[in-house]
Amino acid sequence: AQKITQTQPGMFVQEKEAVTLDCTYDTSDPSYGLFWYKQPSSGEMIFLIYQGSYDQQNATEGRYSLNFQKARKSANLVISASQLGDSAMYFCAMRDESTGGFKTIFGAGTRLFVKA
Amino acid sequence: KAGVTQTPRYLIKTRGQQVTLSCSPISGHRSVSWYQQTPGQGLQFLFEYFSETQRNKGNFPGRFSGRQFSNSRSEMNVSTLELGDSALYLCASSLVSLSSYEQYFGPGTRLTVT
């Protein structure tokens, strides 16, 4: 069965510094996608970044980068130059891409606090 | 382009009642997925509809059901509500193509069961 583990319930980071949010996953499927979402206190889920299991290079989207280590089954999110607006809940997620569809499982989340 | 809309945004129901939530996807998106978010269980996948057919299903009891209409709008229904059904219900739509992978989420419907 697929599983996503986020071991950091909460993280603090100083404004303008970089922060890494940890995510490990478990799956026996050869084709899968890994995602990170941001959920501010307002509740909406905001897509941040995607990494396919066959992608050779780590994904980057602006200040977000995904450190993909396939052998370790980890997909950590790195946020560079943190901003106060980055304070939110962050979810790592995985989708089985071998069977089609958008069934996605989520980790428990990490709450990030950015300090001024 | 308008985003995913969900109605109503807030709902209060009594135990034993039933409820219907609505989701309108982004124009052109044919896949609609539903998720339940609670403090205890986190985000859990309910089901996904594509072209009016349920394509994937999560581990929820039969009290949770859904459907999709020809215009891709989707509804989910929860019958015989229980206190534990209190949650934020999120809907997400996706463009189905070989290169698509992103789900766009709506603002959610917050259901409170008393």
Please determine, for residue A97, whether its predicted confidence score (pLDDT) is greater than 90. Answer: no
> Bridge partners of B6?
B23
Residues on chain B touching A46 (C-beta within 8 angstroms): 105
Q: Supply angle C-alpha A96, A67, A81, rounded to 5.
A: 125
> B53 and chain A: CB distance < 8 Å anywhere?
no
> B62 and chain A: CB distance < 8 Å anywhere?
no
Q: What is the pLDDT of residue A30?
A: 86
Q: How confident is the model at residue A116 (pLDDT cuts 50, 70, 90)?
A: very high
Q: What is the pLDDT of residue A105?
A: 92
> B60 and chain A: CB distance < 8 Å anywhere?
no
Q: How confident is the model at residue A67 (pLDDT cuts 50, 70, 90)?
A: very high
Q: Inter-chain contact A103–B48, Cβ cutoff 8 Å? A: yes
> A38 and chain B: CB distance < 8 Å anywhere?
no
% of chain A residues with pLDDT over 70: 98
Q: Inter-chain contact A104–B31, Cβ cutoff 8 Å? A: no
| Cβ(B6)–Cβ(B109) below 8 Å | yes
- State the virtual CA torsion across A76, A82, A85, A89 in degrees, nearest 10: 20
Q: What is the pLDDT of residue B49?
A: 94
Q: Which residue from A45, A52, A102 is facing B48, i.e. has the nearest CB?
A: A102
> B93 and chain A: CB distance < 8 Å anywhere?
no
Task: Over range A77-104, report the average pLDDT.
Answer: 90
Q: What is the pLDDT of residue A63?
A: 97
How confident is the model over A7-38, as pLDDT tens digits? 999 999 999 999 999 999 999 888 899 999 99
How confident is the model over A37-50, as pLDDT tens digits? 999 998 889 999 99
Q: Inter-chain contact A45–B58, Cβ cutoff 8 Å? A: no
- Rounded Cα distance between A20 and B74, Å, is 37
How confident is the model over B54-102, as pLDDT tens digits? 988 899 999 999 999 999 999 999 999 999 999 999 999 988 765 667 8
What's chain B's length in residues? 114
